[in-house]
């Protein structure tokens, strides 16, 4: 497991997410110099026996360029159309650049829906394995044409983190146009310093990320930290590096102090917890009182109906819901009761469930095993 920068030399499988701003130019479309540079660096990593998967943005941005839609506010369907056009330019560029090294590339378009369905997840994961054994570089993007806003990953940083867990990578690297995470905004504060290594991605670290969205990509620093959190909780170290830096991947993987490295802590999610915390669609909210929150956070308890103060949304039994105290989401879990049932039993002791509903399937509203804590505001995005 990666615990120091020197350990990075042990990484055998790496996912590299490349942002749109690195790859695209409003006048010329694909920045071929950058794509060639990435192909050269990936080739060197392969020579060292490292398997590489790319997660590449750029489809929507390239579609805009080639459809003459620059500067225009796009509707969801126009974005999807732009992605469909741009994805062909993107893959053509990668194919051309990698062919210099006789490396085959493969296109994998995924949606969050694919990852939350077990069979599709396994299929995608097995395809990844097969491609790796054939020496191919899988290039993943979100399947933008089939998803609408509310079910999208939201950004390729999150997609990259989820793919890293799916293919059991050792390291997830986000290549962007800044040097890493700074302790203050380097554009406004000349004393801002790059954080070299982050051992715990807590609220203090999250607060360092300002809003650094640019016109091409959707992911700013905040989304990179959210993605890092998904990766490290799943046991995959992560890094943010500047794609404009010479030979930066090789330097990172040989232990040089570039970018920001996020190490995994002891606070890990099982696959089941990962599925609840990061993949399932949230169907509603259960608001609870402070006493119940204490019991969940400090006593390892299940959520009982007596602690429920309000129920929002139209969820069914087994659906994923957020657990909220005041205005803070403290957990996610699978509800044992649907929203209508829960409204009738909220505030009651468990022994009264049967007299109100006529049956009692479970004493708890969310069983401990189906509850994931420490979601905080992070997963509200």
Residues near ligand GLU (CB under 6 A): 20, 57-61, 83, 141-142, 144, 155-156, 217-219
Q: How many helices (H) and strands (E) does the chain have?
A: 14, 15
- Outline where 306-378 has alpha helix (H): 339-345, 353-357
CA atoms 177, 183, 184, 187: torsion sign:
negative
Residue in the block written with tokens 């992070």: 378
Partnered with residue 51 across adjacent β-strands are 13
Select 53 or 60, whichever has its Cβ closest to ligand GLU.
60
Least Cβ distance, residue 63 to ligand GLU (angstroms): 8
Least Cβ distance, residue 143 to ligand GLU (angstroms): 9
Least Cβ distance, residue 211 to ligand GLU (angstroms): 15
User: How many other C-beta atoms lie within 10 A of the C-beta of residue 179?
Assistant: 17
How would you classify residue 273: left for phi > 0, otherwise alpha for psi between -120 and 50, otherwise beta? alpha
d(CA 175, CA 122): 27
The three-point CA angle 161-254-225 to 5° equals: 25
d(CA 178, CA 159): 20
Select 161 or 366, whichever has its Cβ closest to ligand GLU.
161
d(CA 349, CA 61): 55
Select 41 or 141, whichever has its Cβ closest to ligand GLU.
141
d(CA 53, CA 139): 6
Least Cβ distance, residue 285 to ligand GLU (angstroms): 27
Select 59 or 263, whichever has its Cβ closest to ligand GLU.
59
d(CA 16, CA 160): 8
Select 225 or 372, whichever has its Cβ closest to ligand GLU.
225
Least Cβ distance, residue 247 to ligand GLU (angstroms): 25
Parallel, antiparallel or unpaired: strands 282-288 and 308-313: antiparallel
Select 156 or 364, whichever has its Cβ closest to ligand GLU.
156
Least Cβ distance, residue 115 to ligand GLU (angstroms): 15
Least Cβ distance, residue 242 to ligand GLU (angstroms): 17
Select 219 or 243, whichever has its Cβ closest to ligand GLU.
219
């Amino acid at each position: 497991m990666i615990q120091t920068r020197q350990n990075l030399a042990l990484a055998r499988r790496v996912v590299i997410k490349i942002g749109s701003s690195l790859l695209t130019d409003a006048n010329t479309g694909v920045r071929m110099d950058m794509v060639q540079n990435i192909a050269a660096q990936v080739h060197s990593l392969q020579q060292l026996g490292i398997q590489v998967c790319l997660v590449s943005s750029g489809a929507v941005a390239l579609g805009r360029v080639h459809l003459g839609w620059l500067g225009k506010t796009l509707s969801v369907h126009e974005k999807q159309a732009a992605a469909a056009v741009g994805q062909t330019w993107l893959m053509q560029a990668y194919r051309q650049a990698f062919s210099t090294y006789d490396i085959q590339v493969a296109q994998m378009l995924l949606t969050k829906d694919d990852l939350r369905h077990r069979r599709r997840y396994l299929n995608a994961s097995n395809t990844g394995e097969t491609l790796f054994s054939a020496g191919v570089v899988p290039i993943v993007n979100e399947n933008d044409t089939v998803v609408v806003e509310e079910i999208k990953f939201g950004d390729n940083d999150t997609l990259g983190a989820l793919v890293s867990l799916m293919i059991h990578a050792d390291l997830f690297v986000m290549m962007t146009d800044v040097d890493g995470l700074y302790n203050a905004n380097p554009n406004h504060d000349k004393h801002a310093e790059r954080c070299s290594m982050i051992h715990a991605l807590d609220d203090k670290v999250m607060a360092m990320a300002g809003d650094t969205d640019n016109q091409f990509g959707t992911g700013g620093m905040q989304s990179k930290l959210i993605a890092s959190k998904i990766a490290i909780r799943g046991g995959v170290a992560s890094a943010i590096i500047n794609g404009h830096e010479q030979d930066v991947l090789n330097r990172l993987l040989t232990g040089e102090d570039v970018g920001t490295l996020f190490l995994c802590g002891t606070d890990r999610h099982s696959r089941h917890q990962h599925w609840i915390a990061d993949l399932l669609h949230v169907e509603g909210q259960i608001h609870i009182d402070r006493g119940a929150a204490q019991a969940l956070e400090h006593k390892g308890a299940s959520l009982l109906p007596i602690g429920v103060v309000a129920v929002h949304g139209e969820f069914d039994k087994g659906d994923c819901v957020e657990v909220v105290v005041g205005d803070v989401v403290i957990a996610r879990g699978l509800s044992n009761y649907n929203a209508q049932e829960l409204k009738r039993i909220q505030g009651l002791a468990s022994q009264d469930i049967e007299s109100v509903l006529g049956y009692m399937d479970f004493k708890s509203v969310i069983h401990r095993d189906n509850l994931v804590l420490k979601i905080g505001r992070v997963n509200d995005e």
